[in-house]
Structure formats: structure tokens, C-alpha cells
Amino acid sequence: MMPRTGHFRFPGRFEWKVLAAVFIVATLPLGATGYFLSRTLATVATINSRHQQEVRDSLGQALEVYRLTFAQEKETFRARADEISARAPARAADLAGVPALLRARILEGAAVVDEWSVSPTDLHRAREAPPNLVALPNAHPGVPGVPGAPRMLELTFGIDRQLYANFLSLRQAVEKERELDRVLPLLLPGLFRGLILELVLVLIVATAIGLLVARRATSRVATLRDAASRVAGGDLSVRIAPRGRDELDDLGRAFDRMVGELGDARSRLEYLQKVSAWQEVARRLAHEIKNPLTPIQLVVQQLRSQYRGDDSGYRHLLDTAGEVLGEEIGSIRRLVDDFSAFAKLPKVEPTPVDLGSLIDDFARAHPEWNASVEAERPARVVEALCDRMLIRRVLANLVENAIQACEAAGRTARVRLSVAWNAATATATIQVDDNGPGISPSTSSRVFDPYFTTKEHGTGLGLAIVRKIIIDHGGDVSVGVAPQPLGGARFSVQLPTVPTTTKPTPTTTTTIRT
């Protein structure tokens, strides 16, 4: 996994481009909105100013009408009071029919001599005007304790309460209009300042978000770049190991798969180079060893056949030596044959092959092994592009090794052949499992090397031939642990599949017992 540094670094060119794009995207709509809003507010302010001026003029005129009406009413009340005073009423109740009169009191000094008022209901409906105090011209007896006190008439008139309430409401409306005229010129600049502040805040937030997004994207791109540089330098152990689900993470996962495939390809290439070198060695050894074998065998046969003496001891010596030399020459011939087979592997001629049918036929064709070989056909037809004869040869080598390993461990051999299909990688796998002792981790990495063997009389070429054949098919072979109940070694042969529609088939198991 690539390391991620957390220190600050100055934005790169790509980040500046992202920031510029974010800045433009954030500024243009907000700027356009601010411009149109300012124009709209200015237009509204102009229209509102004209409308308010008309409203103020109308309210002022209406208020002036109310004032003139109230002033006229006061004059009317004053004239009416003078008229009533001239009549010199003797009792306050005599004034009951005077229009708009709410209350009448006859006073002598501070004392109330007589009093009259309208009903409480009528009194509630009216708004009292300031009382009018007029003198009565007739002389009356003085008030006790106040000799010769003048007699006064206090008249309280009223106006309609609703009319006065309308006057108050109108006056409040005029005051509010004046307050609005004072506040509105101060409000618009505040709105513009708020808009500018909002624009600045949006730009700051957008820039910060853009920087975070750009930094996250560019950091992952930089990680990919650094990883690609390391891969170009030959380090195929580097991995991105992304954890997200966006396109860059998909690219990181694709990069990891590519590096893994490059590693596998390099491993196969190195193996093929090694095998190619050993094939040349095997070819030369086979040529150099095979040539003298026939003359040696002929000489031994001539020595045994041309001896005419009667020395039984010498005859026994010749026969024993001939048998030993014949066996050793046979062993050498088999070794030479292995060398020749390894040096001259046939060319792969792939065709679509049903692997289930292949392992079934293979199991039926080898009843000679002293073991039980089980072939489990898959539940669906799995076709692979392979050379049928070479794959049978591969299976023969693997099964023979499995049987020999089981017998060497003193166990009754059990070998199982099965087929697995991987849709994600478009590969089919033939699995060869046994119940032997397995392969230790210390030797599992070398089992496919030419001339490496753990058997006493092995040549170390069988598994090398197996892997060479599978690599020539475009696949590979690996070794692991077989699942229980076998628990021995598992050899997995991976082959490219045929991109065709598969048809389900029943799973069957073929058991060969000898």
C-alpha cells in the first residue's frame, strides 16, 4: 500500500484548475443573482418611493381634513355653548335635546348645583371634547359660605368615537410612513453589504471545499503516479489498495490488478527463461549421453556372447556384470528419454475442450494405478482452450506424483480430480487433490524448478514439464493444501476459458479402482 503524507503542500496545476472552476461556478450564479437583486431592489425602491410619496400626500391630506373637522367641531361647540349660556337655563336637564351634548353641569364657585348627562351607552359611543365653561347672565342666590359667587355652566360635547379612532389610526400611519422614509435609505446599503458578505463567505467556503476535493483527487492521482513510477523501475510489489467506490478507486483497483498480472507475467517469463536454459542443457546432455549408450550395450552383449571358456566363475561374473550394466543402461535411457521429452515439448494446439468430460475420460483411461481416482464433473459445462493430449499428459504427471507421495507415506492413495470455474477472471481450474503428506512451505516455491526433486530416484522434470505446458497454454499452476477429508497436496491448473454460453449438466463422480 502506498504511503500517504499529511504535510502541507502548495496546490499544483491541476488543483489550481479545479479551484478556478469552483470559483467561477460559485461566483457567476451568485454575482448574477446579486446584480439582478440589486437592480430589482433599486427599481422597487424607486417605485416604492413614488408610491410612498403618494401615500404620504394622501394621508397628510386626510389627516388635515380630520384636523379641520375637529377644529370646526370645536368652534361649533363653542358657539353652541355661548348660545345656551344666553338662554340661561335654570336646570341642567333642560339641555337634554342639545345636539352632541354629553354632560351639563351648573356650578356656583366650585360647587355643582345641578348636573345632567346622557346615558352610559351614548356616553361610551362618543369621544369627549374639552369642556366649555360659560357664565350664566342671571343672578342667583349665592352658595352658602360663598356669598355672591358667580354661576357658571360647564358643557361637555362629544364627537363620534369611531371617527376619532380613525383619526388616531391615520396619525399613526403617517408617523410610520415618516419612520419608513427615515429607515429605508439606511436599509438598502445594509442589504448590499450583507450580499457582499455572503458572496465573500460563499467564495471562501467554495474555495475550501474545492481545495479539499482537488487535494483528495490529486493526492490519489499522485499516489497512482508514484506507484506507476515504482512499477516502471521494476518494483511490482507496490499496491494502491483503494477503499472507496468512485472512478479513481476503480482505477486504483485496476492498477493493482494490472501490477499483479505483470508480476505473474514476469514470474512466468523468468520461469520460461530458466526452463529454456535447462531445456538446452537437457538437449545437450541427452545427445551426449545417448550416443555412447548403444555401443556400450553392444560391447557388453559381445563380451557375454563371445566367451567360449569353461570357467564358470568368469561366466557368472560376465552374466552378473551384463545384467547390472543392462539395468543401468536402461535407467540412463529412461533419464535420456526424460531429458529429450523436457527438451522437445510439443507445440500447444488449443481447441475448446469440455474439462468435465476430459477428467472423466482420463480417469477411465488409467485403471492401472494402484489407487482410487475420483473424477468429479462440474454442475455446468466448462470449456477451456487447451491441447487435449498435453493436458492429459499434465494430469498423468500430477496423478502419478500424488500416488507416489501417498505410497511413500505408507497410505492408501486417494486422488480426486475436479473442475472449478471463475467468472471474474474467465479461468477454469482443474484441481488435483490427494491424501498424501502434502508439500512443506519451504519447498512449495521450488517444486516446479527443473531438476528439483524430493524423491530418491526422481529427475525433477515432471512438475517442470507440467508448468511449462500450462504456461504455454496461457495459464499457470500452483500448489496448496487440499481440503478435508483428503488434507494432502492440491495442485491447481488454471486454463483460459472459452467465452461461450454454458449449459448445466448433472454432477457425476467416476471412481476407478484397481
Banded pLDDT at 22 (limits 50, 70, 90): confident
Q: How confident is the model at residue 310 (pLDDT cuts 50, 70, 90)?
A: confident
Q: What is the pLDDT of residue 145?
A: 43
Burial class (CB in 10 A: 0-12, 13-18, 19+), 137: exposed
Least confident range of 70-79, 465-474, 476-485, 498-507: 498-507
CATH number of 252-343: 1.10.287
Q: How far apart are CA 496 and CA 499, in angstroms?
A: 9
Does residue 147 register a pLDDT over 60? no
- Rounded-to-integer distance, Cα 151 and Cα 161, Å: 31
Reading the block at residue 361, the C-alpha cell is 475420460
CA atoms within 13 Å, Cβ hemisphere of 216: 11
pLDDT at 282 over 70: no
Q: Identity (one letter) of the amino acid at 322?
A: G
pLDDT of residue 494: 92
Average pLDDT over residues 135-145: 56
pLDDT, residue 371, reads 62
Cut 0.75: pTM above it: no
- pLDDT of 507 reads 47
pLDDT, greater one: 437 or 324: 437
Report the range out of 43-47, 324-328, 357-361 with the highest average pLDDT. 357-361
The answer to whether residue 302 scores a pLDDT higher than 90 is no
* Residues 403-449 pLDDT 10s: 888 888 888 889 999 999 887 777 899 999 999 898 888 888 788 88
Q: How many Å apart are CA 206 and CA 28, to the nearest integer?
A: 12
Where do the CATH 3.30.565.10 domains begin and end in the chain? Answer: 351-512
Predicted pLDDT of residue 505: 45
Band of pLDDT at residue 504, cut at 50, 70 and 90: very low
Would you give the DSSP letter of residue 425?
T
Tens digits of residue pLDDT in 451-468: 777 776 666 778 888 888
Structure confidence at residue 456 (pLDDT): 67
- The average pLDDT across 299-305 equals 76
Model confidence pLDDT, tens digit, residues 38-70: 777 677 777 767 766 777 777 777 777 778 877
Between 312 and 369, the higher pLDDT residue: 312
Average pLDDT on 339-364 reads 84
Where do the CATH 1.10.287 domains begin and end in the chain?
A: 252-343
Contact 106, 151 (CB under 8 A): yes
For 212-356, strand residue ranges (E) read 351-354
Distance separating alpha carbons of residues 411 and 403, to the nearest angstrom: 9
Which residues partner with 56 through β-bridges?
A: none
Which of 62-66, 119-123, 222-226, 352-356 tops mean pLDDT? 352-356
Stretch 11-23: mean pLDDT: 72
Residues 6+ apart with CB under 8 A from 181: 52, 56
**Distance between CA atoms of 2 and 228, rounded to whole angstroms?**
11
**Residue 318: is its pLDDT beyond 80?**
no
Which of 185-199, 269-283, 307-321 is the least confident region?
A: 269-283
- At 156 the pLDDT is 81
**At the top level of CATH, which class does the domain 351-512 belong to?**
alpha beta
Residue 75 C-alpha from the chain's centroid:
87
According to the model, what pLDDT value does residue 143 have? 47
Mean pLDDT across 132-142: 65
Q: Rounded to a whole number, what is the largest CA-CA distance in the chain? A: 204
Answer whether 430's CB lies under 8 Å from 493's CB. Answer: yes
Tell me the mean pLDDT in the region 99-118: 81
Q: For 115-129, 267-281, 344-358, which range has the lowest pLDDT when averaged over its residues?
A: 267-281
Tell me which of 14 and 261 has the higher pLDDT.
261
Q: What is the residue-averaged pLDDT of the chain?
A: 77
Check whether 149 has a pLDDT greater than 70: no
pLDDT of residue 10: 63
Each residue's pLDDT tens digit, 480-502: 999 988 989 999 999 988 765 44
Residue with cell 507496490: 238
pLDDT greater than 80 at residue 363: yes
